[in-house]
């Protein structure tokens, strides 16, 4: 039996060799329309598992392109469809590659941009289907047939337009709203009825395309020969190969967070004196040595330093004051700790510390973050990294980003969780619509780095405590301060993953499980006096 690709290239030359009984099977319309039908189906219905949401639409775009390529010389409508199918194929290839970069997450984070791109692609697909409909009608008219066959494509196009209208209706008038746990359905009939109706319309649309291809079986002789340089298999393999070869490059380049450092500056005698004072009050020497000039100036009037308790989920109690144990990463070991520096006027400087006692081999994305309790106002955030290269001390000050906690809208919707008392209203106003902020930094480990460590710090305003200007550890009745917070260190464990997982998307998150290539270790600390 003659292969479809060979027949597409030689049908006009070898038509006389085909037995009349076999002509309907080998009409040039059949492979082109079959590809368009199957490709459109793969583009219409999406499956969100086993990466099929990426593979099948790309396959569908290739098939639609090959179908229009076979028809492009027949009339101007098919030529328009071929150009649009090429644009659609290029778009799907580009989107699949961009999914291996942070760009897709940035686009999805903007509803306006994401919605605009979605409807632009839908508009191009709709115009391509219109070209298919007009092209088939032109073929019938050019054949000189008096009785035109049934306009199946016109019906299908109408069904597709109705399906798009239902999708737009679903966006403009949702039948659900955010609830305490997931979505809360507000109208069951609309919630379940609209998707079912849309699926039925799309199925009818595909059936109409197939029925129209059957009516074209007797018009194969009117197709002009289409010279092609690349076979269908070459186009299919080349499209997938171009995407697959681009993905590792995109993942490696996009996954690296640039971290530039500089040699650490020497301290002035005054700053060295503050450092020594902090050590004498109980701050570990290595942490005191990591503080930069600005941090030492903040702590110049410190009156006390204290360690904290940490929650031991496997121990017999809830808290312990022993040093927090080092935790193993997939390819490294890290230590976490927190320290409190008490300042005048009831201010407490919290310093949250991490150290890689064994550096990971993969050095693409790291993140260090803190989740404060939200009981007290927090201000003046800072962060720093230090490491050694060939015996020299290097440092970097990555940007400290702030993620917001519960919003004013969430508090309004859940008054039983957050009663709208005056302190809650003041906190929402002070933090610009959030109950608290979660500071975090993202970085990568320099290639030649050794002994990497760093910290996040901020000031807690505990001035509402009794006698804030006179802290007496020997007289707890004169001053009390209780606080709890969580510290998180995240690390990317492997680079070959898809789609791209940005460690920045976890900034401010309290999620402690493993998600794709991102591994998290954490500790819950508390202080009470």
What average pLDDT does range 150-162 have in this prediction? 85
More confident residue, 465 or 58: 58
Could you tell me the residue range of the domain that residue 342 belongs to? 262-528
State whether residue 481 is helix, strand or coil: coil
Q: pLDDT, tens digit, for every residue of 354-400?
A: 999 999 998 999 999 999 987 788 889 999 999 999 889 999 999 99
Residue 308 lies in a domain: yes
Q: Is the pLDDT of residue 316 over 70?
A: no
C-alpha to C-alpha distance for 283 and 340, rounded to whole angstroms: 9
Residue 449 lies in a domain: yes
What's the predicted TM-score (pTM) here?
Answer: 0.75
Among 86, 52, 124, 27, smallest CA distance to 235 is for: 86
193, 196, 198, 200: CA torsion to nearest 10? -130
More confident residue, 89 or 227: 89
Residue 176 lies in a domain: no
Counted domains in the chain: 2
Residue 174 lies in a domain: no
What pLDDT shows up at residue 245? 94
Domain boundary among 254, 282, 312: 254
Do 241 and 377 sit in the same domain of this protein? no
Q: Is the pLDDT of residue 450 over 80?
A: yes
Do 231 and 269 sit in the same domain of this protein? no
Do 283 and 236 sit in the same domain of this protein? no
Do 243 and 295 sit in the same domain of this protein? no
In the chain, pLDDT over 70 holds for what percent of residues?
79
- Tell me the angle at which helices 152-172 and 111-142 cross, rounded to the nearest 10 degrees: 170
By the 8 A CB rule, do 471 and 347 touch?
no
C-alpha to C-alpha distance for 181 and 195, rounded to whole angstroms: 22
Q: Can you say whether residue 453 is alpha, beta or left, with left for phi > 0 and alpha for psi between -120 and 50 degrees?
A: beta
- In this structure, what are the phi and psi dihedrals at residue 450, rounded to the nearest 5 degrees? -135, 150
Mean pLDDT, the chain, rounded, equals 81
What pLDDT shows up at residue 6? 52
Work out the pLDDT band at 112, boundaries 50, 70, 90. Answer: confident
Q: Is the pLDDT of residue 219 over 70?
A: no
By the 8 A CB rule, do 119 and 167 touch?
no
H, E, C per residue of 361-425: CCCCCEEEEEECCCCCCEEEEEEEEEEEECCEEEEECCCCEEEECCEHHHHHHCCCCCCCCHHHH
Q: Is the pLDDT of residue 20 over 50?
A: no
Q: Is the pLDDT of residue 232 over 80?
A: yes
Instruction: Compute the radius of gyration of the chain from its Cα atoms.
Output: 33
Instruction: Give me 211's structure tokens.
Output: 């029925």
Instruction: Give me 495's structure tokens.
Output: 């680079």
Do 120 and 250 sit in the same domain of this protein? yes
What average pLDDT does range 331-343 have in this prediction? 91
Residue 197 lies in a domain: no
The CA distances from residue 460 to 17, 72, 347, in Å, are: 89, 70, 6
C-alpha to C-alpha distance for 281 and 340, rounded to whole angstroms: 11
Least confident of 126-140, 243-257, 299-313, 415-429: 415-429
CA geometry: angle 196, 201, 204, nearest 5 deg? 125
Do 247 and 322 sit in the same domain of this protein? no
Do 247 and 287 sit in the same domain of this protein? no
The CA distances from residue 390 to 287, 386, 443, 448, 454, in Å, are: 21, 13, 21, 8, 19
Among 398, 396, 418, 397, smallest CA distance to 407 is for: 418
Work out the pLDDT band at 338, boundaries 50, 70, 90. Answer: very high
More confident residue, 288 or 174: 288
Among 362, 359, 313, smallest CA distance to 334 is for: 359
Do 266 and 250 sit in the same domain of this protein? no
C-alpha to C-alpha distance for 186 and 179, rounded to whole angstroms: 10
By the 8 A CB rule, do 490 and 519 touch?
yes
Do 288 and 241 sit in the same domain of this protein? no
By the 8 A CB rule, do 305 and 341 touch?
yes
What average pLDDT does range 195-219 have in this prediction? 82
What pLDDT shows up at residue 121? 82
Query: Residue 111: exposed, middle, or buried by beta-carbon count in 10 A (0-12, 13-18, 19+)?
Result: exposed
């Amino acid at each position: 039996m003659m292969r479809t690709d060979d027949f597409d290239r030689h049908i006009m030359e070898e038509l006389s060799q085909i037995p009349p009984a076999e002509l309907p099977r080998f009409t040039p319309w059949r492979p082109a329309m079959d590809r368009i039908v199957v490709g459109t189906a793969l583009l219409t219905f999406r499956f969100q598992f086993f990466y099929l949401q990426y593979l099948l639409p790309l396959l569908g775009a290739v098939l639609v392109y090959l179908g229009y390529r076979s028809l492009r010389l027949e009339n101007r409508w098919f030529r328009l469809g071929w150009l649009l199918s090429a644009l659609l194929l290029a778009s799907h290839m580009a989107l699949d590659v961009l999914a291996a970069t942070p760009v897709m997450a940035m686009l999805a984070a903007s509803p306006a941009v994401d919605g605009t791109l979605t409807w632009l692609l839908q508009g191009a697909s709709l115009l391509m289907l219109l070209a298919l409909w007009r092209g088939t009608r032109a073929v019938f008219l050019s054949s000189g047939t008096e009785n035109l066959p049934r306009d199946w494509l016109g019906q299908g196009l109408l069904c597709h337009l109705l399906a798009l209208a239902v999708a737009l209706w679903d966006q403009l008038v949702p039948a659900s709203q955010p609830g305490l746990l997931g979505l809360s359905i507000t109208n069951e009939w609309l919630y379940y009825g609209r998707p079912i109706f849309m699926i039925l319309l799309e199925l009818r649309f595909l059936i109409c395309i197939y029925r129209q291809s059957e009516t074209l079986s007797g018009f194969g002789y009117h197709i002009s020969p289409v010279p092609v340089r690349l076979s269908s298999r070459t186009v299919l393999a080349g499209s997938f190969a171009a995407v697959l070869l681009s993905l590792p490059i995109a993942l490696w380049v996009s996954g690296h967070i640039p971290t530039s450092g500089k040699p650490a500056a020497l301290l002035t005698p005054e700053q060295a004196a503050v450092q020594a004072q902090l050590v004498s009050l109980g701050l570990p020497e290595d942490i005191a040595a990591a503080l930069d000039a600005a941090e030492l100036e903040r702590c110049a009037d410190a009156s006390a330093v204290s360690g904290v308790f940490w929650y031991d989920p496997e121990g017999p109690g809830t808290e312990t004051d022993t040093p927090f144990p080092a935790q193993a990463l997939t390819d490294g070991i890290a230590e976490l700790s927190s320290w409190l520096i008490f300042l005048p006027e009831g201010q407490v400087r919290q310093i949250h510390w991490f150290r890689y006692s064994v550096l990971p081999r993969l050095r693409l994305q790291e993140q260090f973050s803190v989740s404060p309790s939200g009981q007290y106002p927090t201000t003046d955030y800072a962060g720093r990294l230090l490491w050694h290269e060939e015996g020299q001390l290097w440092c970097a000050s990555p940007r400290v980003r702030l993620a917001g906690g519960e919003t004013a809208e969430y508090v309004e919707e859940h008054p039983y969780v957050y009663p709208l008392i005056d302190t809650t209203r003041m906190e929402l106003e002070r933090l610009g619509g959030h109950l608290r902020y979660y500071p975090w930094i993202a970085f990568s480990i320099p290639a030649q780095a050794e002994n990497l460590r760093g910290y996040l710090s901020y000031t807690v305003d505990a001035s509402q405590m009794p006698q804030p200007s006179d802290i007496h550890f020997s007289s707890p009745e004169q001053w009390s301060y209780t606080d709890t917070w969580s510290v998180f260190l995240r690390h990317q464990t492997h680079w070959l993953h898809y789609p791209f997982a940005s460690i920045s998307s976890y900034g401010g998150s309290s999620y402690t499980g493993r998600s794709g290539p991102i591994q998290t270790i954490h500790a819950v600390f508390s202080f009470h006096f």
